[in-house]
Homo-oligomer: A and B are copies of this chain.
């Protein structure tokens, strides 16, 4: 996914945007504040991105690219372990970056007001769903999982993950991710894994 080429100055603008977003939130994110983090003028930013909206669309792509790093499924693994490690990376024990989750939540809330944002989230979601569904499907063929609808089950797990992140950020609940991980595990055990046979 993604990995669009970014020039050195553009990369710096993305980092500055990230810092400004974490500190001020989307509603108070201004080109001036990004420029301050960048330690350059606002004109320097408009030189690379014509409008603020264009900058933010590029920034969302940058944010989502960053997620690619830590969502890996080892095709060598058995389906159950592959699904488990996918869930571990979706709901990590230790969130990678404090501000990242806040920034992501801020951007997600803009989706209803910005079609370009929403399209990127939808695309990303479809990609993650495919990874989960593939692991589940393999597990069904193998006999590890029951004959459920793979994409439906994958969507259930993504719903649990999204809910966990939402609660982690909104309620400032440090345990929300670990708990959601537990809920996901329960769901796998209760609705996916084959009932004790033999």
Contacts and interface: CB of A to CB of B under 8 A. Distances in A.
A96 interface: no
Given A166-B162, A187-B190, A112 B105 contact: yes
Interface string A155-188: 1101111111011011110001001101100110
A125 interface: yes
Interface residues of A, number: 45
A169 B112 contact: yes
Contacts of A112: 25, 102, 105, 169-170, 172
Contacts of A182: 156
Interface in A1-50: 24-29
A140 to B, nearest CB: 16
Residue in A102, A106, A159 whose Cβ sees the most chain B Cβ within 10 Å: A159
